[in-house]
């Protein structure tokens, strides 16, 4: 298909800049089709499936229509629910962020009238609201609609289902007759046709039908995980299944860059492809990936179009695609030539609805999976290590000269064998509960540990996630402390919202948690001691450096700063 660019659609530089800030690489089909028709001033009935980008399809022309110098309501967007009104308002805010003097405000039930009244009085060009509350404001005389140039009914079918018909008609009647009237919906029922007929002038119909698709026979799994836990989930799945070659899809260039950096910081070999990278470089990356010269390619849909790699084990939808067709294209990159492939999709928040739609559209079942626990990952790694050892043992023909030397030096054969496991990346002595006469921890070979901390035992923590820092709490598993307890301890002592706590790792005698940067400052001058029911808990900062931006594999030093073994061994 010949795809268009946003820059072909006749948009202002301010809006184009906002679109590029959002990381949208190219218009979604409904956007490419509807935006020019809306800009030309026609009434429009737009139809495309959920998650296909309808908001920007009407939001962009709405913003372009507004006169910044005039602070009266010029665009009215009706939404069925408060949640949708907020979402649409958020997207309009982002899309208009470079347009000076354009203001948009959501108006919905359940929020204070005073605040909404204040906002409206200040003067806004775009009002996004639910019909009920808009009617209230009209009745109170706090919302004037006589300068409205465009009315948009988002999810029009749903509004009718919810019984808003009468309110909608009244609101439409309160706006000037020569307005532009726009309907957007995933479905267009008879009811809505009736409404359209009575309230619009020769509307143009813009409809994006999903094409029939053949879904490749790959195993499809989804994992529900909050956004901030996705990276951890990815690491665990990769460690657990031992994937060696895969593509990871993100929706924006920024996310691609972040994720590629994060993977490299964890010692993987990874590279990236997105529309912001020069073509010559893209070709280089692509060729290297085809030759499996690195493990994971992080990419946007646009950049990965046309990639043809055999033996791809894994496709990850780090972000759910906004288009069901893209989902099919993405997962079709694995399972080629009858080989078995795996498609993994991370789903956060309301993505689950989009996923259900994709299931319906593709007529396949995407199975729900659970992320393996840190313990399961560890267990699996040990098993595979043992398998490898058994293999070698079964093959026989082993030379024992090195072992003999060590035996002569007085080491026992079990200790020699155990230390070889440590060298292979198996669990080291330091993961065991500290006990009085524990042997000194075996030193990991050749790898530099992060800077030792003066006063505390140095845990082997992986670098924290972006924007996070590790803190240590002097309370461990033996007290039956739960992750929830840790969160409330942190909430109480550092005054942070529970949402800003990331990964929590509870071991014996101590626990670690990742906490958003801004809440860690209070610990920079020393630990905090907080009283609990039967004693005290010390909370301290554990500085572990993030590895900053480094491109793989070109600019990679021969050895990653953090060895894969050191950081992926344990501590989740
Ligand atoms: P719909 O209203 O059709 O259900 P939305 O407008 O809510 O869909 O869009 C779904 C998601 O897709 C949003 O997260 C939005 O930011 C994103 N999106 C929209 N247009 C694009 C685009 N051109 N490129 C990438 N992502 C997009
Ligand atoms: Mg929508």
Q: Which atom of ligand 1 is the closest one to the Cα of 28?
A: 23
Indicate the pLDDT class of residue 335, thresholds 50, 70 and 90.
Answer: low
* pLDDT tens-place string over residues 158-188: 899 888 999 999 999 999 999 999 999 988 8
Output the pLDDT for position 152.
98
Query: Which stretches does DSSP call E strand in 74-161?
Result: 75-78, 104-107, 126-129, 150-154
Alpha-carbon gap, residue 154 to 54, rounded angstroms: 8
What residue ranges define each of the domains in the chain, with the CATH number in brackets? 6-207 (3.40.50.300), 218-374 (3.40.50.300), 462-572 (3.30.70.330)
Give the pLDDT score at 550: 36
Ligand 2 centroid – CA 412 distance (Å): 68
Confidence of residue 571 (pLDDT cuts 50, 70, 90): very low
Instruction: Choose the residue to mutate in 55, 155, 304 for probing ligand 1, maximizing ligand atoms within 8 Å of C-beta.
Output: 55
Residue 2 pLDDT > 70, yes or no? no
% of the chain exceeding 90 in pLDDT: 40
Question: 284-295, pLDDT tens digit by residue?
Answer: 998 899 888 999
For residue 418, the CA-to-ligand 2 centroid distance in Å is 58
**Side-chain half-sphere CA neighbours of 524 within 13 A:** 7
Mutation probe of ligand 1 site: the residue of 56, 58, 60 with most atoms within 8 A of C-beta = 56
pLDDT at 174: 95
403 vs 17, residue with greater confidence: 17
Output the pLDDT for position 213: 60
- 540 CB contacts (<8 Å, ≥6 apart)? 456, 471, 472, 523, 526, 527, 528
DSSP H or E stretch at residue 506:
strand 501-506
Token pair in block for residue 272: 């990236």
Residue 455 is predicted with a pLDDT of 40
Which ligand 1 atom sits closest to the C-alpha of 48? 3
Nearest protein Cα to ligand 1, atom 20 = 53
Determine which of 44-48, 193-197, 487-491 has the lowest per-residue pLDDT on average: 487-491
Q: What percent of the chain has pLDDT over 70?
A: 85
At residue 354, the pLDDT reads: 87
Q: What is the pTM of this model?
A: 0.54
**Ligand 1 atom closest to residue 91's alpha carbon, by position in its atom list:** 16
pLDDT band for position 463 (cuts 50, 70, 90): confident
pLDDT in tens, 373-421: 888 888 888 888 888 888 888 888 888 888 888 998 888 888 888 888 7
Residue 66 token pair: 């507004």
The Cα–Cα gap between 314 and 218 comes to 10
The pLDDT confidence band at residue 25, using thresholds 50, 70 and 90, is: confident
Please name the residue whose Cα sits nearest to atom 14 of ligand 1: 322
The pLDDT-based confidence of 440 (bands split at 50, 70, 90) is: very low
Tell me what pLDDT residue 432 has. 31
b (16+ CB within 10 A) / e for 238-261: bbbeebebbbbbbbbbebbbbbbb
Per-residue pLDDT band for 570 (boundaries 50, 70, 90) equals very low
pLDDT for position 337: 57
- The CA distances from residue 556 to 320, 444, 506, in Å, are 30, 21, 33
Split at pLDDT 50, 70, 90, the class of 154 is very high
Q: What is the mean pLDDT of residues 261-267?
A: 86
Greater confidence (90 vs 446) lies with 90
**Ligand 1 pocket, Cβ-based, cut-off 6 angstroms:** 24, 27-28, 31, 48, 50-56, 251, 322
Residue 458 CA to ligand 2 centre (angstroms): 49
Ligand 1 pocket: which of 58, 183, 322 to mutate (most atoms within 8 A of CB): 322
Residue spans of beta strands (DSSP E) within 160-265: 180-185, 204-207, 219-224, 246-249
- Is the pLDDT at 247 greater than 90? The verdict is yes
Sorting pLDDT into bands at 50, 70 and 90, what band is 529? confident
């Amino acid at each position: 298909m010949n795809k268009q660019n946003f820059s072909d659609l006749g948009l202002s530089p301010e809006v184009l800049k906002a679109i590029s800030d959002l990381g949208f690489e190219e218009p979604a089909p409904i956007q490419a089709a509807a935006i020019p028709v809306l800009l030309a001033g026609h009434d429009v009935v737009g139809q495309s499936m959920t998650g296909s980008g309808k908001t920007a399809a009407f939001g962009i022309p709405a913003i372009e229509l507004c006169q910044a110098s005039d602070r009266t309501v010029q665009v009215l967007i009706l939404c069925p629910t408060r949640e949708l009104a907020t979402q649409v308002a958020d997207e309009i805010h982002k899309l208009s962020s470079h347009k000076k003097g354009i203001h948009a405000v959501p108006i919905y039930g359940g929020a204070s009238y005073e605040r909404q009244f204040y906002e409206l009085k200040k003067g806004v060009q775009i009002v996004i609201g639910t019909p009920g509350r808009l009617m209230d404001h009209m009745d109170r005389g706090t919302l004037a609609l006589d300068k409205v140039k465009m009315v948009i009914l988002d999810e029009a079918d749903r509004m009718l289902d919810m019984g808003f018909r009468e309110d909608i008609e009244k609101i439409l009647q309160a706006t000037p007759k020569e307005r532009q009237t726009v309907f957007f919906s995933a479905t267009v029922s008879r009811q809505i046709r009736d409404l359209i007929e009575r309230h619009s002038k020769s509307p143009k119909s813009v409809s994006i039908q999903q094409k029939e698709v053949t879904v490749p026979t790959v195993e499809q799994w989804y994992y529900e995980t909050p956004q901030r836990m996705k990276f951890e989930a990815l690491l665990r799945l990769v460690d657990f299944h031992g994937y060696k070659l895969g593509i990871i899809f993100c929706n924006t260039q920024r996310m691609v860059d972040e994720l590629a950096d994060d993977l490299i910081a964890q010692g993987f070999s990874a590279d990236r492809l997105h529309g912001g990278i020069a073509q010559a470089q893209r070709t280089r990356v692509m060729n290297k990936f085809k030759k499996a010269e690195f493990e994971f390619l992080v990419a946007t849909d646009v950049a990965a179009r046309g990639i043809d790699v055999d033996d791809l084990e894994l496709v990850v939808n780090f972000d759910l695609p906004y288009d069901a067709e893209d989902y099919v294209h993405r997962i079709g990159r694995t399972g080629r030539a009858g080989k078995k492939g795996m498609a993994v999709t991370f789903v956060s928040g309301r993505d689950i609805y989009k996923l259900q739609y994709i299931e319906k559209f593709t007529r396949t079942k995407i199975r729900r999976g659970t992320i393996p626990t840190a313990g399961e990952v560890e267990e699996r790694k040990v098993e595979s290590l043992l398998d490898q050892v058994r293999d070698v043992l079964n093959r026989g023909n082993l030379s024992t000269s090195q072992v003999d030397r060590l035996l002569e030096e007085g080491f026992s054969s079990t200790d020699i064998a155990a230390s070889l496991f440590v060298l292979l990346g198996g669990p080291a002595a330091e993961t065991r509960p500290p006990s009085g006469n524990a042997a000194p921890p075996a030193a990991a070979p050749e790898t530099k540990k992060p800077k030792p901390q003066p006063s505390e035992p140095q845990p082997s923590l992986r670098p924290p996630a972006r924007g996070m820092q590790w803190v240590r709490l002097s309370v461990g598993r033996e007290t039956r402390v739960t992750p929830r307890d840790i969160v409330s301890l942190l909430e109480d002592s550092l005054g942070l919202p529970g949402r800003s706590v990331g990964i929590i790792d509870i071991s014996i005698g101590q626990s670690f948690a990742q906490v958003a940067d801004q809440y860690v400052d209070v610990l920079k001058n020393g630990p905090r001691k907080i009283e609990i029911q039967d004693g005290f808990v010390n909370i301290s900062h554990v500085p572990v450096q993030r590895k900053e931006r480094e491109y793989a594999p070109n600019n990679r030093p021969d050895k990653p700063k953090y060895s894969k073994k050191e950081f992926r061994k344990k501590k989740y």
